């Protein structure tokens, strides 16, 4: 709260950077909590951020990068000189390297990689080849490889002499490879502690350890971590050769990132995330592209009303109920969409099981449609005293509710089957259908019963 | 695909359980992939599930439980005898114990805990005291405690003799306590490997290690794991006394669970998740409670139309544009809600910074409102040839768009400040406001210009 009075951290930081006091800036930054750091750096000017990050020690700069949203970290990296950027990238954990670079323009990435140690750069290039949904993308390629014929004493020696090399990744398991680099066993660190120095690796290792192919999907990888307390799993190629290690937390993080993106897409924020420090043009443009599509669909469904303009002007009371019928249809449909999305994510349903969903939804739609239809019919009756008007809006509400849950329940499965993104496409398709059917049901029924409604 | 022809796994499982072939059922289960297990068990009848889980070895049953959604695992547990249930609970990792039990009726939980080892039961009771958002809830209370004056040799000895005890939790760090159980240091396992047997713990330990208070929020805990590669952090009480250990993956999982719940709530699935195997009554009832609220709000906003019925019947062409104006307002508002929710979650904005959000939104709302207003005005002009009608719908669209992004952007912050759940409440409040303002803007403008519109 007192940040209101004295200059806030970001203002002080900006000031220090502008007056070239980079050491004081680094001291200030190190005194902030992670949360304060995120807030302070994100509020600085673009030039301030770039200047700050290029003067910090690369290690500290990398820590700051990890605290920022990926898209934002990528923006800053893009504005740095390739050499400064490459030094920071070298200090990031491997999965973060790939993720942040994936938000940067291709040419720029190559310029940054060109400044790096060629071996590190090559390894990043390889990870970048994996698809967004493949676990290979999330792996670290540094691990401790040992051989089944080694003694425990030799392994401990190897571990000691490579101490420096291993110190910046958190080793939990040692991986036992054969002469073709095929993974044949795993030795947890603590087993090493518990074993005699003369024992052979092959006698203490866990044989046939759980492993994941590099093209395993994130969801499958996530399930592989369920029901055990492993902190990491080895990743192998098609011949069983050891390629790297994926941490349980990287998989969890990737899943949680995807749910976040799905939420944003479902709410109409597409093309990656939007943060309010982004330039105005980027923000308006991205939002507008989504709204333009929606306005076109919305005009399409409203044109159903135009067809029945004569009916509507004879029974103007209907105008009040049209948005209620279409709106509640939309809400009921969204509920069904959410349940289907959830069941797909949990693996409780397969995309081809559309019939099962329809069977499960139709009764819910009928019962709730009946309740909501009765309710709105009573409101209409009470308001206008015409039982036929009540009947028209009640029946339209009920039938529209059934259509909504059937469409909403089936859409995510169908979209998934045809390879479209259900998080993105379900909403607009659903509301277009429920609007059209809601308007059509109410107005066509009214047209049929017109003499009774006037 | 071929599951369609031969009996699917769940049918076979059901069959085996019914004919009391529990060993064969266990063999079949162990041959399935985690994904297949989830699908198979979730499709069995309720009785089949209960019978299966009570005949499996508790350890295997616990593995199955971990593969099911929590609410579903809890349902099954509730149907088992307390003794059978308690045996399964004992085999679950600690955070999962707390989470699954939190879905079960209080009396039932006590019955289950009464069957357990009193010490384990007490520890579960203590974890259940923590709030949903406190990291204490996620901790494991089993850890290896050592003392700063011990030698490495003594620690390794201790480790060896407690080998059995430690084997079912994945030890990565040893925690150094003083005589008051206050945490004074951490020794990673690998440091132990690299140290001489005569060295003292105090000389090899990491002093002043990062630790979390047990009442730290999940979000803060998540940030504490950013910028480092630690797999676990120690949890301490208000006096610095060591209470337990929280895994990075538990924190990630809790966050991802919360995003999932937020998504479900935003789509109108409240009161926990809904799965299609739940009883029809539960599903309809929960969905209906949400829809009933929405229908009331929807009638409220549509009543604005009723006030202007005379205007509308004179300019019936407006009826087509009303749902477009209100609908697009809703979409634009949802975009702003999503950006605010995202910035709150990332810690890029604090709930009191409503003014900042309004400043950032108003330009976006104005620019997009202008574009969309022009578009709809042209459509109206082309459709009906009356420039004043175009003006009315265009201005209403533009102003409503500005209102929508301001309300949508501010709502999550305001709701958070007054302690309400923004994921749940933002949607209905937003659409009620954008509907009302959209209808009101278009119809009141039309009333003013009525002579020009006829």
Q: Does any domain span residue B135? A: no
Structure tokens at B416: 């958070």
Contacts 24+ apart (CB under 8 A), B428-432: B428/B293, B428/B294, B428/B297, B430/B330, B430/B333, B430/B334, B430/B337, B430/B404, B431/A327, B431/B297, B431/B301, B431/B330, B431/B333, B432/B297, B432/B298, B432/B300, B432/B301
Domain containing B16 equals 2-129
Average pLDDT value over all residues in chain B? 90
- Nearest-angstrom CA–CA distance, B312 and B328: 20
- Nearest-angstrom CA–CA distance, A87 and A113: 10
pLDDT in tens, B254-264: 888 888 888 88
Structure tokens at B60: 């295997």
Q: Are B287 and B312 members of one domain?
A: yes
pLDDT at site A138: 92
Nearest CB to A302; choose among B248, B303, B324: B324
Q: Are B227 and B369 members of one domain?
A: no
Q: Are B301 and B380 members of one domain?
A: yes
Sort strands A212-213 and A232-236 into parallel, antiparallel or unpaired: parallel
Q: Are A115 and A149 members of one domain?
A: no
- Looking at A385-421, list the stretches that DSSP marks H as alpha helix, in order from N- to C-terminal side: 387-417
DSSP H helix total and E strand total for chain A: 23, 7
Q: Note whether B223 contacts A34, CB cutoff 8 Å.
A: yes
pLDDT at site A1: 41
Q: Does any domain span residue B139? A: no
pLDDT at site B170: 63
Q: Is the pLDDT of residue A32 over 60?
A: yes
Question: Of A108-112, B168-172, B222-226, which gets the smallest average pLDDT?
Answer: B168-172
- Nearest-angstrom CA–CA distance, A318 and A340: 33
pLDDT tier at B450 (50, 70, 90 boundaries)? very high
Q: Is the pLDDT of residue B313 over 50?
A: yes
pLDDT at site A446: 96
Q: Note whether B269 contacts A338, CB cutoff 8 Å.
A: yes
pLDDT in tens, A267-276: 888 877 888 8
Q: Are B31 and B161 members of one domain?
A: no
pTM: 0.87
Question: Taking CB atoms and an 8 Å cutoff, what residues of chain A touch B263?
Answer: 259, 262-263, 266, 338, 341
Q: Are B111 and B244 members of one domain?
A: no
Q: Are B349 and B442 members of one domain?
A: yes
* Domain boundary residue, one of B129, B164, B192: B129
Q: What is the DSSP string of A152-203?
A: HHHHHHHHHHTHHHHHTS---EEEEE-TT-BEEEEEEHHHHHHS-TT-BHHH
B290 in contact with chain A, both atoms CB, cutoff 8 A: yes
pLDDT at site B1: 41
pLDDT at site A74: 92
Whose CA is closest to A38, among A70, A15, A6?
A70
Nearest CB to B256; choose among A93, A248, A255: A255
Q: Does any domain span residue B24? A: yes
* Domain of residue B69, CATH code: 1.25.60.10
Q: Are B171 and B242 members of one domain?
A: yes
* Domain of residue B197, CATH code: 3.10.580.10
Strand partners, B200: B151
Mutate: best of B170, B211, B310, partner A, most A CBs <10 A: B170
Q: Does any domain span residue B179? A: yes
Number of compact structural domains in chain B: 3
Q: Are A241 and A337 members of one domain?
A: no
CA angle B369, B372, B378 (to 5 degrees): 135
- Nearest-angstrom CA–CA distance, A111 and A83: 8
- In angstroms, the separation between the Cα of residue B266 and the nearest Cα of chain A is 9
Q: Does any domain span residue B262? A: no
Q: Does any domain span residue A226? A: yes
Q: Are B222 and B318 members of one domain?
A: no
Q: Note whether A259 contacts B256, CB cutoff 8 Å.
A: yes
Q: Are B174 and B114 members of one domain?
A: no
Structure tokens at A444: 């066509």
Q: Does any domain span residue B266? A: no
Chain A segment 309-328 residues within 8 A of B by beta carbon are 309, 312-313, 316-317, 319-324, 326-328
Q: Are A319 and A404 members of one domain?
A: yes
* Domain boundary residue, one of B206, B240, B256: B256
Q: Note whether B294 contacts A328, CB cutoff 8 Å.
A: yes
Q: Does any domain span residue B242? A: yes
ipTM: 0.87
Distances (CA, A) of B384 to A178, B97, B310, B321, B451: 79, 65, 20, 12, 16
pLDDT at site A166: 66
In chain B, the percentage of residues whose pLDDT exceeds 90 is 57
Q: Note whether B299 contacts A273, CB cutoff 8 Å.
A: no
């Amino acid at each position: 709260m007192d940040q209101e009075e004295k200059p806030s951290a970001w203002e002080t930081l900006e000031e220090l950077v502008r007056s070239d006091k980079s050491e004081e800036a680094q001291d200030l930054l190190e005194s902030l909590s992670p949360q304060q750091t995120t807030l302070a750096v994100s509020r600085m000017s673009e030039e301030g951020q770039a200047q700050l990050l290029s003067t910090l020690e690369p290690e500290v700069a990398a820590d700051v990068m990890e605290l920022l949203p990926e898209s934002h970290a990528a923006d800053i990296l893009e504005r740095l000189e390739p050499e400064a950027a490459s030094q920071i990238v070298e200090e990031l954990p491997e999965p973060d390297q790939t993720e942040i670079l994936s938000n940067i323009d291709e040419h720029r990435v190559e310029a940054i990689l060109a400044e790096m140690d060629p071996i590190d750069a090559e390894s990043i290039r390889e990870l970048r080849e994996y698809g967004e949904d493949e676990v290979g993308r999330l792996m670290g390629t540094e691990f401790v490889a040992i051989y089944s014929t080694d003694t425990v004493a030799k392994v401990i020696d190897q571990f000691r002499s490579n101490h420096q090399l291993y110190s910046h990744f958190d080793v939990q398991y040692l991986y036992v490879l054969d002469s073709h680099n095929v993974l044949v066993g795993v030795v947890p660190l603590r087993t090493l502690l518990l074993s005699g120095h003369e024992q052979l690796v092959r006698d203490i290792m866990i044989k046939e350890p759980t492993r994941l192919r590099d093209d395993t999907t994130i969801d499958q990888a996530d399930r592989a971590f369920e029901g055990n307390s492993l902190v990491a799993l080895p990743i192998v190629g098609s011949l069983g050769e050891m390629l790297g290690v994926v941490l349980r937390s990287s998989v969890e993080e990737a899943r949680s990132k995807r749910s976040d993106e799905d939420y944003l897409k479902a709410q109409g924020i597409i093309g990656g995330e939007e943060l309010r420090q982004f330039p105005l043009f980027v923000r308006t443009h991205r939002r507008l592209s989504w709204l333009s599509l929606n306005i076109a669909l919305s005009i399409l469904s409203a044109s159903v009303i135009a067809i029945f303009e004569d009916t509507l002007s004879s029974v103007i009371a209907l105008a009040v109920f049209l948005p209620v019928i279409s709106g509640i249809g939309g809400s009921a449909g969204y509920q069904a969409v959410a349940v289907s999305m959830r069941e797909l994510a949990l693996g409780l349903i397969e995309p081809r099981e559309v019939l099962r969903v329809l069977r499960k939804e139709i009764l819910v739609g009928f019962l709730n449609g009946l309740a909501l239809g009765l309710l709105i019919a009573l409101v209409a009756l009470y308001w206008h005293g015409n039982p036929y008007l009540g009947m028209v809006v009640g029946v339209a509400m009920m039938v529209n509710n059934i259509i909504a849950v059937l469409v909403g329940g089936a859409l995510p499965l169908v979209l998934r089957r045809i390879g479209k993104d259900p998080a993105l496409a379900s909403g607009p398709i659903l509301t277009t259908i429920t609007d059209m059917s809601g308007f059509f049901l109410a107005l066509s029924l009214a047209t049929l019963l017109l003499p009774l409604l006037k």
